[in-house]
Structure 1
Amino acid sequence: MTVTIPDTAMVLAAGQGLRMRPLTDHMPKPLIPVLGKPMLDHALDRLTAAGVGRAVVNSHYLGAMIGDHLKDRTAPAITLSPEDTLLETGGGVKKALPHLGTAPVYTVNADIFWLDGPVPALRRLAAHWNPAEMDALLLLMATTKSVGYDGPGDYHMDPLGGLTRRAERELAPFVYAGVQIVKPELFAADTPDGAFSTNLIWDRAQAAGRLFGLAHDGLWFHIGTPAGLREAEDLLAIGGVRAVAH
């Protein structure tokens, strides 16, 4: 089966990482290393391995460090999208639209870490992507299998992959894993000019019956605090290093 891989990705690296202090006092969160390599590089390496040719990377907090870190990187080809004011996830993508083109793109949070299952997650997403039926396809992780995550979850998923956001004070079995395929035009149409969350885009897609998910079949680490980073590295040292290295 031929799988069409999006040629362009948006890597979201602008967050302030407040919960990661003191590690983020002098370093942006995406540059914090996991197993000796910055989380940002793990994400970009996965995109390169999947066949993505271009990555737009936004930045805000200590953004010059991110630009300097990426200045010599050639695969994927990097375009920087610095933000003078923090635009959140949706606003960050909207600002970068001139660089993203019109075809569906990956967006990847730069402060997450995952291990692939038998088929790389980015390729699995591309294989499931159906633009005739979908506006966004989210990689999801079962909350019970997430390392370092103790929140209430984000979505319910029906047998066909259709998503419904959890109601207030409700628990949901899946958390957004920080990776998706999405149509860039959704960020241009009737959206705020400043900061806004991608939740706006997802809620509209859900209302139209065009928001879908795919359950991740590997490991996923929520690295939100220094303690979460230590937990992830401890677990990876026991069983994950071999899987990361290949």
Structure 2
Amino acid sequence: MPINLFIASAGYGSRLRPVTNLYPKPLLPIAGQSLIDRMIDRVSMSVDINEIALNVHYKKEQFEKWNEAKQYQFFEEEELLGTGGAIWNAQNFFKKQTSLLINGDVLTDFDWKGMLEYHENSGNLVTLAVQDREHERRVGASGKGAFICIDKAMKDPRVECWFGYACVVLYEPGFLKYLPAGESHVVPFWEDARNAGEKVGVYDIGRESEWLDLGNVNTYAAGVLESMNGVKRFFAEPLNIPWDCQIDSYCVVEQGVEIGGDVQLSNVILLPGTKVAQGSRLQNCILGPGMKVDFDYTEASKNSDLDTIGNGGSDRIYRRRDEGVVLDYSSIDHTIERQKTLTQRLLAEKVSVPQIYNHRPKARQLVLEDWGDDTFRLWSQGKTQEQILGKAKECLVELHKFQSIAEPLRDKVFNLDVLMWESSYFLERFIFRVAGLEDEYKKNQAQVDAERLSLANQVNGLDKVLMHRDFQSENVMIRQGSVGLIDFQGAHYGPALYDAASFIGDPYMDYDLDLQEELKNYYFSKCAHVTDTSESDYNRCAIQRHMQALGAYGFLSHIRGKGSFEFYIPVALKMLNRELGLHQNEYEALYSLVQSAADKLSIKVN
């Protein structure tokens, strides 16, 4: 049954100042999404919403701007009317059908459908969501779930169970007759309805359900940081983090933030439009335009990663369930439909990729075939070189099938812009941030940039196919001896040799040169149309790929806080140095820069 949704949004948020000097509480940023958008998303995943409305007063103009593309109903309060007066003022909304009211300053998610079913089956006029925890409003209930009272002191002898109020209520239209006109607080009228013989009940959302009142700076900070499901960094796109910005522990950077040079951030939330001055040292604080406030935060003890699988560079969250592998994707992940289309085309041409069993758009979940835990890298542990070589050849055959489908997607072209971005990424994330060689780059900037452009033009000129773009040992699964490909949603239309160089020169595997040469010759003989320039074309693709990989390792280890990626920097740098050495006359400045990086980091590359 569809219901109406009402978000209580009129309050000043006085306890959360100075943050609420910038925003009303429902529009507070929560890692790329406003609190109110997050709430609407969570509810609409579980139940059908007919109409949405808000009461507004404080910073009404911000709500109006936010609502331009949504056209939700507003009920303005010229003076604040209280929790009961808000319902009375919006009686034309509440009289239509069952309505769910949520306070606009709570971060919560639970079994919304379960609460609605309980409300319907019990015949309640009013159902309060409650939770077994401390709260300034203690809800007293009978053992059968009937509402008895609100009593902070918890002394009412009629009560069998005490709960914390969750600031979520389901109302039937009939409740309106108990409300007076004008300003009021709603609690006495729950009791009036109960005393009149109406059924008023409670619904326990469970101790494990997410619930947090963002009533002050500390709880707001906790809500933002804990909303990221164990990921310690959030950076809104487009990413604009200077290479020399040092980041430790949690860090949230919202849209439109400008960060100066030589900045250090630790447990910091940067609100939209923030400008961080050069040389700033920020710790345990929220920073916004014209505002800075400190917070106390102790990391939650529960580990949200316990049931997740995969530990690579992706921010996607996968969980193993009886129905398959469940991908929980975010509201800003726009690759799902592309992944579905590409999966269908690949399976139709017998390419081994996980099937999609189910797509639940409301829940933002994709259920995938479970190919187990054995990536090619893990499978190869303890295997002989002959076994590894044989399976690697199978991987290259599967890659060739992937690259040869009749209808490749061409919406993402691996063109000159992408290639130049990759080498810029290498400079900013590895040469500048990891190696600290920005000054050395600037001494020979014109020549380095000319060589980057020359390399990009040569790679861009190669024939294009469906290119995986991240074809390496962690994106190949081995199940019962068979090879399968994963993580291809970012596939591009680009040169086949880029994928081959990615796999054969994979720093995760670090094949010896003889094995690399054998795999390359196998790929040329079985999978590629060989020309007089294939060898040099392959080497150029390998240079391009290893620059991208070093940029990624620098970004993931020094910005995302995934320190394990530092382990692969020496291997990738050694490979890049060798490949540049084969074309030293063409890429003299790049070769010299890589040599300097190796010296600076004390990495032996020759």
TM-score (norm 1): 0.82
Q: Secondary structure at the match of 1:129?
A: helix
Q: What residue in structure 1 maps to residue 90 of structure 2? A: 96
CA contact (8 A) 2:10 2:56 kept: yes
Q: Secondary structure at the match of 1:61?
A: coil
Q: What residue in structure 1 maps to residue 69 of structure 2? A: 72
Given the alignment, which residue of 114, 131, 135 partners 2:125?
A: 135
CA contact (8 A) 2:139 2:151 kept: no
Q: What residue in structure 2 maps to residue 43 of structure 1? A: 39
Q: Does 1:158 align with 2:147?
A: no
CA contact (8 A) 2:126 2:175 kept: no
Q: What residue in structure 2 maps to residue 147 of structure 1? A: none
CA shift digits 1:149-173 (9 cap, x unpaired): x534421233321122243522773
Q: What residue in structure 1 maps to residue 186 of structure 2? A: 198
| One-letter amino acid of the structure 1 residue matched with residue 154 of structure 2 | E
Deviation of the 1:39 alpha carbon: 1.2
| One-letter amino acid of the structure 1 residue matched with residue 183 of structure 2 | A
Q: Does 1:9 align with 2:5?
A: yes
Aligned equivalents of 1:244, 1:85: Cα separation in 2? 41
Deviation of the 1:185 alpha carbon: 3.3
Aligned equivalents of 1:79, 1:108: Cα separation in 2? 15
Deviation of the 1:107 alpha carbon: 1.1
Taking a change above 3 Å as real, the CA distance of residues 64 and 244 of structure 1, as seen in their structure-2 partners, is farther
| One-letter amino acid of the structure 1 residue matched with residue 9 of structure 2 | A
CA contact (8 A) 1:39 1:113 kept: yes
Taking a change above 3 Å as real, the CA distance of residues 155 and 222 of structure 1, as seen in their structure-2 partners, is same
Taking a change above 3 Å as real, the CA distance of residues 142 and 35 of structure 1, as seen in their structure-2 partners, is farther
- The structure whose RCO (Cα within 8 Å, separation 6+) is larger is 1
Aligned equivalents of 1:91, 1:83: Cα separation in 2? 9
Given the alignment, which residue of 206, 213, 230 partners 2:221?
A: 230
Deviation of the 1:244 alpha carbon: 8.4
Q: What residue in structure 1 maps to residue 543 of structure 2? A: none
Aligned equivalents of 2:121, 2:38: Cα separation in 1? 27
Deviation of the 1:132 alpha carbon: 6.9
| One-letter amino acid of the structure 1 residue matched with residue 109 of structure 2 | L
Aligned equivalents of 2:175, 2:180: Cα separation in 1? 12
Q: Secondary structure at the match of 1:230?
A: helix
| One-letter amino acid of the structure 1 residue matched with residue 185 of structure 2 | S
CA shift digits 1:40-72 (9 cap, x unpaired): 111222343321021111100111211211120
Q: Secondary structure at the match of 2:189?
A: helix
Q: Does 1:178 align with 2:167?
A: yes
Q: What residue in structure 1 maps to residue 409 of structure 2? A: none
Aligned equivalents of 1:85, 1:12: Cα separation in 2? 14
Aligned equivalents of 2:18, 2:29: Cα separation in 1? 14
RMSD after superposition: 2.5
Q: What residue in structure 1 maps to residue 53 of structure 2? A: 56
Range with bigger deviation, 103-112 or 52-61:
103-112
Q: Secondary structure at the match of 1:53?
A: strand
Taking a change above 3 Å as real, the CA distance of residues 110 and 234 of structure 1, as seen in their structure-2 partners, is same
Structure possessing the higher radius of gyration over alpha carbons: 2
CA contact (8 A) 1:9 1:100 kept: no
Aligned equivalents of 1:244, 1:181: Cα separation in 2? 29
Aligned length: 228
CA contact (8 A) 2:129 2:202 kept: yes
Taking a change above 3 Å as real, the CA distance of residues 151 and 99 of structure 1, as seen in their structure-2 partners, is closer
CA shift digits 1:59-107 (9 cap, x unpaired): 001112112111202xxx6111111111112111111112333322111
Taking a change above 3 Å as real, the CA distance of residues 153 and 91 of structure 1, as seen in their structure-2 partners, is closer
TM-score (norm 2): 0.35
CA contact (8 A) 1:135 1:183 kept: yes
Structure having the higher helix fraction is 2
CA shift digits 1:1-21 (9 cap, x unpaired): xxx242x12211111101010
CA contact (8 A) 2:2 2:50 kept: no
Structure 2: gaps of 5 or more residues: 156-160, 231-303, 306-314, 318-327, 331-363, 365-606
Structure 1: gaps of 5 or more residues: 144-149
Q: Secondary structure at the match of 2:63?
A: helix
